[in-house]
Amino acid sequence: MDASVPRDDSLVTMTDLTREFSSGGSLMKPRRTMRAVNNVSLDVPRGNVTGVVGESGCGKSTLARLVLRLLEATEGTVFFDGKNLATQSQAEMRKLRRQMQMVFQDPYSAIDPRYTIRRALLEPFQVQGEAKTAAEAKTTVEELISMVGLSTRMMDSFPHQLSGGQKQRVGIARALALRPSFLVLDEPTASLDVSIQAQIIDLLEALKEELGLTYLFISHDLSLVRYFCDRVVVMYLGRVVEILSGAETQPRHHYAHALLESNFEPDPTRRKIVTMLGGEIPSPFAKIPGCAFAARCPAASDMCKRERPPLSNLGDGQMVACHNPMD
């Protein structure tokens, strides 16, 4: 398959996506660059939930912003619905943004503190230049607010009068206002209480069925991602190390395995001894010729340190980038 041409059944296609950040570059400090996202190629199939997991700093949030062109890619391309985002004009991009929205990690700062909920929910239309009469505006806000399970009494509240879960529901309503087909969920439950997390996940699942949405779900919680997603992409230091299809697939990459192992087992009789990973995460500024995980990997060989393992297909949609995959 030619990687530069997006497949028909995928809504979003990333090819060789790379984003570098640099720091320093002044008189005293030499310029250093780090690759937050390193050569990521990925499809997001229509109607699917694709999960991206990895520890903090692995580049998953950067990936989310590249997909929506909130950040410009250093190299590589993002195709949305067959269109190369990098070549879209500002006006075309504004139109495309109706199709692709995002729910943010921190609901506490995702709404302007001076905006009422009503105003925040009408802003998408204002920005898109869609005039609404007072009556239309009222029905729109009421529809959106009840779609995410909030009471219409909250319409004129300010964000600080709402709880975290309620704010996140407003964030979801705002993202859905323009009827997008694609939603990036950037750790939408990470800053919420556990009981509220489940409610938000349920809501997102229901909305997906109801509106036929496609999700890219970013999280550091592998068990949540495996429950919620059709396909799981495991990232480590900006690279994709494994792609798992379905909740039952056993990870073959040593990092993905360790990540899954680290989840707590609620049943004490089934609790196992967690094998801790040794070593340190390499500095993101370090140039690593081989596998990024080699320094911490129990099965690392000399080759792992020299040569970067390519993503190879294991069948059934599972792919792994490892020279010595687990059985």
Binding site for other proteins (CB under 8 A): 65, 68, 70, 90, 93-95, 97-98, 100-102, 104-106, 109-114, 123-124, 127-128, 158, 171, 174, 178
Comparing CB distances to other proteins, the nearer of 31 and 270 is: 31
Comparing CB distances to other proteins, the nearer of 214 and 318 is: 214
CB of 90 to other proteins, least distance (A): 8
Strand order in the sheet with 75-80: 32-45, 10-23, 75-80, 83-84
Comparing CB distances to other proteins, the nearer of 119 and 308 is: 119
Give exposure, 195-217, as e/b (b: 16+ Cβ within 10 Å): ebbebbbebbeebbeeeebbbbb
The vertex-113 CA angle with 109 and 116, nearest 5°, equals 120
CB of 167 to other proteins, least distance (A): 11
CB of 153 to other proteins, least distance (A): 19
Task: Give dist(CA 18, CA 197) in Å, integer.
Answer: 31
CB of 110 to other proteins, least distance (A): 4
Task: Give dist(CA 189, CA 106) in Å, integer.
Answer: 9
Q: Are 322 and 314 in contact (CB under 8 A)?
A: no
> At 75, which amino acid appears?
E
Give exposure, 71-99, as e/b (b: 16+ Cβ within 10 Å): bebbebbbbbbeeebeebeeeeeeebbbe
Comparing CB distances to other proteins, the nearer of 174 and 257 is: 174
CB of 143 to other proteins, least distance (A): 18
Give exposure, 170-188, as e/b (b: 16+ Cβ within 10 Å): bbbbbbbbbebbbbbbbbb
DSSP string, 147-213: HTT--GGGGG--GGGS-HHHHHHHHHHHHHTT--SEEEEESTTTTS-HHHHHHHHHHHHHHHHHHT-
CB of 73 to other proteins, least distance (A): 16
CB of 140 to other proteins, least distance (A): 14
Comparing CB distances to other proteins, the nearer of 40 and 122 is: 122
Task: Give dist(CA 295, CA 221) in Å, integer.
Answer: 23
Comparing CB distances to other proteins, the nearer of 166 and 318 is: 166
Comparing CB distances to other proteins, the nearer of 190 and 277 is: 190
Comparing CB distances to other proteins, the nearer of 150 and 319 is: 150
CB of 109 to other proteins, least distance (A): 4
